Chains A and B, each alone.
Chain A
Amino acid sequence: MSLLKVNDLKIYYPIRGGFFRRVVDHVRAVDGISFELQPGETYGLVGESGCGKTTSGRAIIGLNNVTSGEMLFEGKDLAKMGRMERRKHTKDIQMIFQDPYSSLNGRKNVLNIIAEPLRNFERLSPKEELLRVQELVARVGLNPESIYKYPHQFSGGQRQRIGIARALALKPKLIIADEPVSALDVSVQAQVLNFMQEIQEDFGLTYLFISHDLGIIQHMCDRIGIMYRGRFVEEGTASEIYNNPMHVYTKRLIAAIPEMDPEKRFEKMHLRQSINQEYQNDYNNYFDKDGRMFDLKKISESHSVAMQ
């Protein structure tokens, strides 16, 4: 059974207008997406900013309200749960936030930050709590002496490790990582990413990895879903997406990855021109008359594309 199965998830925001502030239209932030996460895998959600990937992640953890659709976590629908019932699953799903500066409360020391989830769900004596926090801090590679320090005394990478330690505290099954390294220096990014892979093995975690950076997604993810304007344009394994992109949007994204080798620069430029040509010629294959994407269509066991 899949760990998480999202079915036709829709998140709309009303646009109000006119004299009585009536709802005149909706912003379709997420417009009917479906995907599955198998236990232990890393699933990547990619797309440009504003495409709905963060909104989807936040809906799964309960920070956004869902307009319609199902989110089956171990077979139970999170979308239909009441507040109390949902709380039981808080332990299983945790989140790593994008901004390591605003996601840690500057008024609390590391001990209090990491102990927060423990205090909500587990009754521990102060001594046990201290030991657990020290363990976690050591696990994420920070000095256990630093638990009385405050967030501003750490670097961005260290703060993100604190955020990860906090997410790990309840031993979750699924971690939603919302652009976990995009606020960090490139030199630190690789460190944190590799570390995330390490703990994935140790804790048997499943990741929903949200990013706009195709390079990082390729490095991290087993399967990938490409989002554009609230819908999926293509879904498949990492190698399928990178080696055999079918949708013109995916092709354009991949062609936009900077090329390090100057010899290949012209090659790349020609590739981009030919993709652009294709976009202009075959537009109707990819977008319907309203400019919306078609539904996903399977082209192989694991690969599907939104094409006519």
Chain B
Amino acid sequence: MKETVVLDEKQLIAQEKANNPSLLKTIWREIIHDKMALGSLILLAIILITAYSSPLFIDEVANKRVNFFNVWKAPSAEHWLGTDDGGRDVFGQLMLGTRNSFTIGICVTVLAGLFGLTYGLISGFYGGKIDNIMMRILDFLMVLPSLMFIIVFVTIVPNYTVFTFILIMGAFAWFGKARLIRARAMQERELDYINASRTMGTPSLKIMFFEMFPNLSSLVIVNMTLTLASNIGLETGLTFLGFGLPTGTASLGTLISYARTPDIVQNKWWVWLPAALLILVMMLCINYVGQAVKRASDARQRLA
């Protein structure tokens, strides 16, 4: 009897880990079984690796230098995607823009995710009056035309930087998440494992983040992947309109915003069309991967 108590703990832990695949593993398995998702993931990885490693083979300083002898050059061996109005290489800007747009998209998504998660968890966990008040506030925030407000804030904020831009976008991107998480938290709250934790004297905050949150994590991950795409779309769109990244910070939207005159749209397509198509491809890839993640989080929908 005594012998059974003394066991190889590590071996036991490893064995049970294998029996209970983590969410990450399930997602991976789901993606591998879905050709579209796998293709999307590979394509996305190629785009991102190229973009993020571009400083290794593209001279960024040279790329920012204006060269008037080289204006509006069509694609060639030297400039794969031609040059813009300042004679700068479009391909280099495309890579830089992808990098910036993607990084900002991630930042906004994470920021909004944290905010929405906290708000939704608190509202759903406490319920009752607190929930009522918090939901009324959220109802109000959700009816604001957020695009207009973002644009207004971008214009009136003093010392406008990339950081403030992320904050402003994040401030308007969490409403839906908060509502989603609150709805699920309300359901979880009724389950006895939460009651059990309370009867065992676990503090509320600990219950929220260590008991309830792990059960909501798949929901959060799915939602974040799906909104990542729309956040990148919004950032490039705002930059396209001229209310996004401060001047000097390239984004995919900056390149597309060249398409303001018929001449450029029609005759100098190499400046804006690649960026537009790249956004399209990236959004689609993220969404296909996101759909696979969504299926992985719900055992009934899994293909694998």
A interface residues, Cβ below 8 angstroms from B: 58, 61-63, 87, 90-91, 93-95, 97-99, 102-109, 116-117, 120-121, 130, 134, 138, 143-145, 148-150, 153, 163, 166, 170
Contacts and interface: CB of A to CB of B under 8 A. Distances in A.
A130 B9 CA distance: 10
B5 A144 contact: yes
Contact of B197 (A91, A106, A116, A144): A116
Q: Classify the interface of chain B: helix, strand, loop or mixed.
A: helix
Contact of B196 (A103, A107, A134, A153): A103
Nearest to A104: B193
A268 B197 CA distance: 45
B202 A120 contact: yes
In the A-B complex, the 3 residue pairs with the smallest Cβ-Cβ separation, listed nearest first, are A103-B192, A90-B201, A107-B214
B16 A107 contact: no
Most A Cβ at <10 Å: residue of B5, B198, B199, B215: B199
Contacts of B191: 102-103
A105 B20 contact: no
Contacts of A130: 9
B13 interface: yes
Contacts of B20: 150
A10 to B, nearest CB: 20
B135 to A, nearest CB: 15
B137 interface: no
A149 B199 contact: no
Contacts of A150: 16, 20
Contacts of B215: 105-107
Given A97-B196, A103-B193, A144-B4, 20 more contacts: A62-B199, A90-B199, A91-B201, A93-B199, A95-B195, A95-B199, A98-B192, A102-B191, A103-B192, A106-B215, A108-B214, A116-B202, A120-B201, A120-B202, A134-B5, A145-B12, A148-B12, A148-B15, A153-B19, A166-B196
Nearest to A106: B215
B192 A99 contact: yes
B294 to A, nearest CB: 19
B198 A63 contact: yes
Interface in B150-204: 191-193, 195-203
B200 A102 contact: no
Contact of A105 (B15, B193, B201): B193
A99 B9 CA distance: 30
A87 B201 contact: yes
Contacts of A134: 5
B211 interface: yes
B144 interface: no
A102 B5 contact: no
A99 B192 CA distance: 7
A148 B11 CA distance: 10
Contacts of A98: 192
Contacts of B193: 102-106
B61 interface: no
Interface string B259-276: 000000000000000000
B211 A105 contact: yes
17 contacts: A61-B199, A62-B199, A63-B195, A95-B195, A97-B192, A98-B192, A99-B192, A103-B195, A105-B214, A106-B193, A116-B197, A117-B200, A120-B200, A120-B201, A145-B4, A153-B19, A166-B200
